Amino acid sequence: MRKRGLLVLFGLLVGVLALVASGCGGGDQTGAEGGGGSGGGDVQALPSASCTGIEYKGEGEPDVLIASDLPMQGSNRTQTVQMVEAIRYILDQNEWKAGDTRVGYQVCDDSTAQLGKWDTGKCSQNGNSYAQNESLVAVIGTFNSGCAAIMIPILNQAPGGGVAMVSPANTYVCLTISGPGCDNSEPAKYYPTGKRNYTRMVAHDAYQGAAVAQFMQNQGIKNVYILNDKEAYGLGVAENVRNAAQHLGISVAGFDAWDPKAASYEALFRKIKQSGADAVFLGGLIDENGAKLIKDKVAVLGPNDGDVKLIAPDGFTTQATIDEAGEAAKGMYATVAGVPSDQLSGAGKDFVDSFKEEHNLENLDPYTAYAAQAAQVVLDAIAQGGSDRQAVIDALFSLDITSGIVAQEFKIDENGDPTVGPVTVYVATDKFETEEVITPDPELVEAAKGA
């Protein structure tokens, strides 16, 4: 009996110690690893198949959860890692709180190692995980418009009024507005409840298409050959450029798709050479065998600062393009919706200077500041809506952003688009350097839509 009594006493003591230990969570903690379980309080972690464990460095335990959804593998990894660090920076600046609401964070990956880019299955899987996790009140993402097209309707129908989604980088026009270049079902099919839950921090591709056409006109380009990668974003921006170019009287020598799995594009560029084009536009992503495309362009049509210019949209405006294409990338132009980080002022300049110093960076990738802005917008919405999903969405669409990172002042319109639209043209050297900032004429933007 004595031995049994001691064992019972020992068991009770272990139980008490366990309870004491479980109550000692506090500041500067990382919560539960992905794969379920508590991340502090009643906050439940997203699955480890796609997401890291819950991060939380505030006092006490998190009340709600946010996630970033970006391709963390492949050519965009350098850029998306920097974007994740920007989100963490904003959380640190806000002491991991939004008003009185304590916020935990998970980094989620929508790419696969096999593809080296975003994957349709992962986008769907992640979207369903977000919708079903009632601790989650907002998603920062996606990076790719094609992934957004899959995820938006899933989050739109999530319990509790849907899940707010704020993209730092999506530019496909038809995610938010309809027009001649959109399918008849767009954008309504992305919002089956009839209510909007999605916003973005960058201007859509009608601005980028208009700016590209305006830049080509300034460069004296008369005849452009337009290629696309057949994806929603790539085809969309290619059509925007075609519409705007034709509006300005620039001839379109051809409009074709490239096969991302092709071993060579030299035959394609010989065809373009026969067309007499003095410029080539690549509508798509560097992930879609873009480096090989650039190399073969130079092999057949000569250097990019020669007789045939090479222009690409933001899907190519990453250091990976220069690293993978090497010397062939030199002299190519690439665009990004928004102002370059070195020209931001006010809160934007403060963010850039502090972030670069903290991470010992010489340059920021184009979407780093936009990831920071997306994070701040999400926190501002949570500060008003708390843990109520619908209230967070309602707050998102009512925000009046002042002292913004990417613009001094702007709003989010009823469609989910920001009320700012500058576009930066970069030129490739050993990095992408600012060439020109263009605010396209509104009439040309409308033309780029296909109006």
Per-residue three-class SS string for 342-397? HHCCCHHHHHHHHHHHHHCCCCCCCCHHHHHHHHHHHHHHHHHHCCCHHHHHHHHC
pLDDT at 5 (0 to 100): 45
* 172, 200 Cβ separation under 8 angstroms: no
Q: Which two tokens stand for residue 312?
A: 């690409």
Same domain, 158 and 111: yes
Quick check: is 6 in a domain?
no
Q: Which two tokens stand for residue 423?
A: 């576009």
Is-contact 96 365, C-beta < 8 A? no
Q: Does 130 share its domain with 45? A: yes
Question: 255, exposed or middle or buried, with CB in 10 Å at 0-12, 13-18, 19+?
Answer: middle
Q: Is residue 143 part of a domain?
A: yes
Q: What is the pLDDT of residue 41?
A: 61
The verdict on residue 267 lying in a domain is: yes
Please indicate, yes or no, if residue 7 is contained in any of the structural domains: no
- Please indicate, yes or no, if residue 254 is contained in any of the structural domains: yes
What CATH number should be reported for the domain holding residue 310?
Answer: 3.40.50.2300
**323 lies in the same domain as 362:** no
Give the pair of three-digit tokens for residue 168: 């730092």
Query: Is the distance from CB of 76 to CB of 142 less than 8 angstroms?
Result: no
pTM comes to 0.84
Report if residue 34 sits inside a domain. Answer: yes
Q: Could you tell me which of 172, 428, 133 has the C-alpha nearest to residue 309?
A: 428
Whether residues 249 and 273 fall in one domain: yes
Instruction: List Cα–Cα distances, 23 to 41, 163, 421, in angstroms.
Output: 10, 31, 49
- Which pLDDT score, from 0 to 100, does residue 419 have? 87
Q: Are residues 134 and 54 in the same domain?
A: yes
Q: Could you tell me if 138 and 257 lie in one domain?
A: no
Instruction: Answer yes or no: do 167 and 85 share one domain.
Output: yes
Q: Is 15 within a domain?
A: no
Same domain, 352 and 320: no
Burial of 216 (C-beta count, 10 Å sphere; 0-12/13-18/19+): buried
Token pair recorded at residue 216:
């080509």
Same domain? For 192 and 92 the reply is: yes
Residues 41 and 159 in one domain: yes
**Domain for residue 274, yes or no?**
yes
Give the residue numbers spanning the domain of 387.
29-203+344-411
| 35 plus 180 within the same structural domain | yes
Mean pLDDT by 10 residues, the chain (451 residues): 40 40 38 40 91 97 98 93 98 98 98 95 98 98 96 97 97 91 93 98 95 98 97 94 98 97 98 98 96 98 97 94 97 94 94 97 91 98 98 97 93 93 95 95 94 73
CA 338 to chain centre: 13
Is the same domain home to 182 and 41? yes
Taking the C-alpha atoms of residue 440 and residue 342, their distance in angstroms, rounded to an integer, is: 20
For the chain, the domain total comes to 2
- Which residue in 416, 419, 383, 390 sits closest to 98, CA to CA? 383
When computed from its CA atoms, the radius of gyration of the chain, rounded to whole angstroms, is: 24
